[in-house]
Structure 1
Amino acid sequence: MNPSILIFDSGVGGLSILQEIRQRLPGADLHYLMDNAFFPYGVKADDVLVQRIVDVCSAAVADVRPDLLVVACNTASTLALHALRNVLTVPVVGVVPAIKVAAGLTSSGHIGLLATPATVNRPYTDRLVEDFAAHCTVHRFGSAELVLWAETFLNTGTVDAKLTPHLQRWIDQQPQMLHVVLGCTHFPLLRDALEQRWPQIQWIDSGAAIARRVETLLAGRGLEARHGILNCRWTGADDGAQGALRFLQALGTVQQASVLSVGNPIQQPSAV
């Protein structure tokens, strides 16, 4: 039997992680969950977020019964991994900014961290820098706008024209910064646009590392020759999930798509 993996994010950002897992483990059954009813996470209080994340993930785990949960959201991972591991019996994999990777690649000693304002300022991020990039100068840029623009891009296929002026001054001020960590899982969805505008920079995310970690945890689980199934759950309005559904349909057939009610998680699937 194929292993089942639940991949959770506040919105569409976790699809960048799902795509990496799909590429590495094409036989795994993947269930995507987006908490679009509570999006965006970056403007909510930490204690409110922790409770919300635990409630939503607990409801989804009871519904899907996965072998493993991937918290494919930097905000959720830095806040709620401990709480989730306390209440769930399945393994929980989180995602953190790939600061260690960037620090190992730079020859200039300068790296960038592009993340949400909350992530760039969290003590968790400070500890990552102290542990893995103490020899580097880390230039941080907090952007809530990129999260919204990534959501818009997935829904419309259009990159917001304000992307270039939004980042250009920061990049111009750090000419030695040739490696930039994408510290939010939404941001790799804009990778093509970032690479086209700033080809001198290597944009680094955690997707491949998370996929390898998942593969390690599922070692010994047989994968059938067929492609694993794809399912999608969301917590808000259906129209907020259409971009995610189109993304998943490009990877394979989506068998089920449904609203997840946190209070009553078992829902009948709707037509895709």
Structure 2
Amino acid sequence: MDATSPILLFDSGVGGLTVLDELRKVLPDAPVIYAADVAGLPYGTKSEAEVAARVAGLLGRMAERYQPRLICIACNTASTIALGMVRDVLETPIVGTVPAIKPAAALTKTGVFGLLGTEATMRQRYVDDLEHAFAVGKRLLRHGANGLVPLAEAKLRGERVRIDDVADSAKGLMLQAHGSDIDTIVLACTHFPLLEQELREAFGQGVEFVHGAQGIARRIAHLTEGQPFARSTGDCAITTGALANFERLAPAFAERGIDRLERF
């Protein structure tokens, strides 16, 4: 294993930075390439066929160019739709991102918990299977909150995000039957933890939020255990969109040790 071979973190935008934050804690020396498919954003409004074809195609080309030791699809929508396909076509180890339904079902005291994600994630059979496996006897309420994705991206650019806008995008969860009994909410989009403070204000302090970034980081650490890590250059972030727009996020990337931003 080449010690400079990077871990590739892939997301539709900047939500995967929540995974990078946790990965830095367990593998601080690992070289990282952060890949944002900004040109394809948002995934939540696309068809399953569109997402699967786009993600598989991009990751195939990125794997060929950057030769990563491991790829993390740090996006719930892409993972629930395309994870199996990507694993079938690439030899590189792949770590996906799935909704943290299992820990949330164990955490809820009322027996009613919520799932916030994109509309595309909400309708996946993968989510149904997780509910049937881990939430027997519990009530899981789902809501597709596509509007939270651009709000999270705006916050990371340093723009002001109104609590009312966050609440409007997410309120469909609580307005359902038994919604007032929700005490735990799964943030099933890696963008959403960026808005956890605003979501706490919107839902109240009595609600716990659960997401999978820590578990994903631990899984990556486990799969790369014993491998050497070394950086030949600084870590890099790449975008499929306009570089000028991506550079508006430079301060957020710099906070995470990424100083090079490039167009893929």
Deviation at 1:189, TM superposition (A): 0.8
Distance 2:56 2:6 in 1: 19
Q: Secondary structure at the match of 1:107?
A: coil
TM-score (structure 1 length as normaliser): 0.88
Is 2:45 the partner of 1:43? yes
Residues 85-142 of structure 1: per-residue CA shift (max 9 Å, x gap)? 1221110000000000101111211111011112112211111100111221001111
Match of 2:98 in 1: 96
Q: Unaligned stretches of 5+ in structure 1?
A: 261-272
Task: Tell me which residue corresponds to 1:135.
Answer: 137
Count of aligned pairs: 258
Equivalent residue, structure 1, for 2:237: 232
The equivalent position to 2:87 in structure 1, one of 85, 88, 91, is 85
* TM-score, normalised with respect to structure 2: 0.91
- Whether contact under 8 Å (1:74, 1:97) holds in the other structure is yes
CA contact (8 A) 1:31 1:232 kept: yes
Change (3 A) 1:32 1:136: same
Change (3 A) 1:229 1:222: same
CA distance in 2 between counterparts of 1:227 and 1:154 reads 28
Matched, 1:257 2:261: yes
Q: Which moved more, 1:138-147 or 1:160-169?
A: 160-169
Moved more, 146-155 or 87-96: 146-155
In 2, Cα distance between equivalents of 1:227 and 1:91? 22
For 1:115, the equivalent position in structure 2 comes to 117
Distance 2:207 2:74 in 1: 24
Counterpart of 2:192 in structure 1 is 187
Match of 1:61 among 60, 63, 66: 63
Task: Report the Cα distance in structure 1 between the residues aligned to 2:220 and 2:248, rounded to whole angstroms.
Answer: 25
Residue 15 of structure 2 corresponds to 13
CA contact (8 A) 1:30 1:228 kept: no
1:164 to 161, 164, 167: 167
User: Aligned-pair RMSD on alpha carbons?
Assistant: 2.0
Distance 1:203 1:227 in 2: 38
Q: For 1:203, give the aligned amino acid.
A: F
**Could you say which residue in structure 2 is the equivalent of 1:266?**
none
Instruction: Give yes or no for contact 2:72–2:94 (8 Å, CA) kept in 1.
Output: yes
Q: Give the letter for the 2:42 counterpart.
A: P
For 1:140-196, what per-residue CA distance to the aligned partner results, in whole angstroms no more than 9, with x for missing partners?
111110111111111233213411244346436623211100001110111122224
* Alpha-carbon contact 1:110-1:138 (below 8 Å) kept: yes
Off by >6 Å, runs of 4+ in structure 1: none
Give the superposition deviation at 1:244.
3.9
2:65 is paired with a residue whose SS is helix
CA deviations over 1:207-256 (Å, ceiling 9, x no partner): 000000001001111346x89942100011113323543222012242x3
Tell me, yes or no, if the aligned pair for 2:241 and 2:263 is still in contact at 8 Å.
Answer: yes
The aligned counterpart of 1:216 is 222
Q: CA-to-partner distance for each residue in 1:45-82, whole Å, 9 max, x for gaps?
A: 21122111111111111222110000001111011111
**Amino acid of the structure 1 residue aligned with 2:22:** E
**Kept in 1: contact 2:5–2:67 (CA 8 A):** no
Unaligned stretches of 5+ residues in structure 2: none
Give the Å deviation of 1:3. Answer: 5.4
- Change beyond 3 A, Cα 1:220–1:121: same
Offset at 1:83? 1.3
**Which amino acid in the other structure matches residue 104 of structure 2?**
A
How far, CA to CA, are the matches of 1:169 and 1:12 in structure 2? 24
Asked whether the equivalents of residues 99 and 181 of structure 1 are also in contact (C-alpha less than 8 Å), the reply is yes
Alpha-carbon distance in structure 2 between the residues aligned to 1:120 and 1:4:
32
